[in-house]
Amino acid sequence: MADRYQSFTRTAPGRFLTKRLGLPQPAPLRRWSAEQPALDGPVLHLTAGKPAVDLAPVLAHTGLDVRTGGAERPAAVVVDATGVRTVEALAEVHAALHPVVRAIADSGRVVVLGAPPDPADHHQSAVQQGLEGFVRSLGKEIGRGRTVNLVRLTDAASAESTLRFLLSPKSAFVDGQVIEVREAERVVPEDWDRPLAGRTALVTGAARGIGASVAQTLARDGAHVVVLDVPQAEEEARALAGRLGGTALGLDITAADAADRIAAVLPDGRLDVLVHNAGITRDRRLVNMPAERWASVLDVNLASVLHTTDTLLAQGLIPRGGRITATASIAGIAGNSGQTNYAASKAGIVGLVRALAPRALAEHGVTVNAVAPGFIETRMTAAVPLMIREAGRRMNSLVQGGLPVDVAETHAWFANPASGGVNGQVVRVCGQSMLGA
């Protein structure tokens, strides 16, 4: 459903009226397109404190127009604060951004690079944690479709895929997030425009909505996509797979033999990217929720993810360098009235990621991450009552709903073979929603 309020604010009467009444004016977000794949303008590289990493070669390798000064209208600003260890050095973050933040282009980006808090140094830990409050607050006030995120890292080379993502239109609805990037074996795709070329990806719940967008985005990036959905949606799945040059699979993901049936359709007997996206809702307050409504949601949204993942890993079908991603939800982080079952299932995905990620990497060489969408414009949210829908759209720093492609682009970043340093992360794609942390 179209956001009519946002369309109204782009008209002359709408701009006048909403400004006079002090109402939000959502800025158009710049998203990726083949015609305009990059932000318009240079990237300003600034430092605070003595940098602990050498970022310049990585930024140069991205092909972006990186400058250390003299950019009057930067498309993005990267502040290297990895070496900030004292309150005095923390002031340099303010000093770096204060003169330039107003000049950042609409739909621009601010990326602050920090270091993991050091438990042996409570001063460093305090100021590095301070960067999180700084970034989240700046994200709430910067406006005009601009986003602010924090990346904690110890190795610059491992952060290239993350910087490419955050400094591009692909991250339009990722705002106020804290992402950790650990040192990993450096993998450089032959073609950054098609990093998944020669790889097979499977997306569950892929016939429509967010799942279809994920499938399309992974195919754009070069993957052969297996489009999996319930048998009732098999016709839609086949149509989408046909357009993408992929494979359709009509399957109830809760079936006991689901993993075996997935294995049978893999074109080369391996699955490089597994995207758990299938999910259902059966909303009702707990006092009115029968056991079958609880069980059906937990079976689809969580139990099937656990069982399928365990089986595919045990069978060795996900090779080293493989990627497992899942669609969680901010409902699992912040809770939501009438959704105790759904929120439990999505919080379960967060728990799965945190526990499985280090073990899957150590034992199988596979990363595990999750995307937690906020209010996304889908057929499901279009059916939400008007006032609740409007609240969902406006209660974030970008004062608008996201699109399925915003979730898809984040899955694609996780799936990138160069994202080996991104593991155990739950990244909210919510425009920095006011709900939850």
CA distance 173 to 129: 23
Q: With CA atoms as reference, report the closest residue to 121 among 92, 93, 84, 79.
A: 84
Contact 233, 208 (CB under 8 A): yes
Query: Cβ–Cβ contacts within 10 Å for residue 244, how many?
Result: 20
What are the start-end ranges of the E strands in 136-199?
Answer: 147-153, 178-181
Q: With CA atoms as reference, report the closest residue to 108 among 84, 72, 134.
A: 72
What are the start-end ranges of the E strands in 68-158?
Answer: 76-80, 109-114, 147-153
CA-only gyration radius of the chain, Å: 21
Query: Cβ–Cβ contacts within 10 Å for residue 349, how many?
Result: 24
Longest CA–CA span in the chain (Å) reads 63
Query: Cβ–Cβ contacts within 10 Å for residue 25, how many?
Result: 15
Contact 70, 169 (CB under 8 A): no
Q: Which residue in the list 342, 375, 413, 414 is annotated as catalytic?
A: 342
- Amino acid symbol at 45: H
Verify whether residue 342 is a known catalytic residue.
yes
Phi-psi region of 198 (alpha: psi -120 to 50; beta: other; left: phi over 0): left
CA distance 262 to 270: 10
Helix, strand or coil, per DSSP, at residue 243:
helix
CA distance 142 to 190: 36
- Amino acid symbol at 171: S
Residue 405 is encoded by which pair of tokens? 């492609």
Contact 82, 155 (CB under 8 A): no
CA distance 331 to 433: 11
Q: With CA atoms as reference, report the closest residue to 348 among 304, 315, 311.
A: 304
CA distance 157 to 294: 45
Residue numbers annotated as active site:
342
